[in-house]
Amino acid sequence: MELRDKVALVTGSSRGIGRAIALKLASLGAKVVVNYQKNAAAAQEVVQTIQVSGGQAIAVQADVSRFAEAQALVKATLDAYGRLDILVNNAGTTRDNLIALMKEEDWDVVVDTNLKSAWNCAKAAVRPMMKQRYGRIVNITSVSGLAGQGGQSNYSASKAGLIGLTKALGKELGGRNITANAVAPGFVPTELTASLPEELKAKMLELTPLGRFGTPEDMANAVAFFVSGEASYITGQVLSVDGGMIMM
């Protein structure tokens, strides 16, 4: 897989899965825009890691759940590198609780961060992609969006929404040589999942036929495939990278 001369924007890429995706795409030759909301130091560490390896990268702060900031992020990408070939919508958060106890704010924050942000960034990115008649969009959904998860009505709904968005974009943009696909991670130990109860983690491991949790690098490899030339005839698809947890 070769991404030389391609420009990739990865939202929420200062840590976890997003960080691994940024590093993977850079290792394949892409120029990478590392997006972050709050942790500038972590984002700069990703940029420096890429640069030390001989790659090109910049960090750009933006709260992509806000459309104006998503637009500004895409503009910063175009200003820096002149084009945008790859958009990975990875920004996400959780606020788990049973629906009877969940606050309206917890619903709004999760849906805005996980789903609206992807729509915001896709809307901002498609115009330059359409103009150049090339683009690759990958949305990071979740097995929770495929099967649902108790205590995660907000998260499951937002991730299921990403799947619908992916399929709609695939149909809408295919004529302009723009593909849209999704990666659905299983359980991946990151800062986002660190607060989950140990008994829940153990249950998830029992449900995983391969007998191990996923890694950020496992997810990054799947993204790299979708944005590569090898996947040029694939669009509107959801790839579960979950060790077999969800077989559908």
Number of residues in the chain = 248
- In the set 81, 134, 155, 233, the catalytic residue is 155
Are 3 and 10 a contacting pair, CB within 8 Å? no
Are 43 and 14 a contacting pair, CB within 8 Å? yes
Give residues with Cβ within 8 angstroms of 8, minimum separation 6: 22, 25, 26, 30, 31, 32, 33, 85, 86, 87, 88, 227
Query: Measured between alpha carbons, how far is 93 from 95 in angstroms, rounded to an integer?
Result: 7
The answer to whether residue 155 is catalytic is yes
Query: Measured between alpha carbons, how far is 241 from 210 in angstroms, rounded to an integer?
Result: 11
Which residues is 34 bridged to in the sheet?
10, 59
Are 55 and 32 a contacting pair, CB within 8 Å? yes
Residues that are catalytic: 155
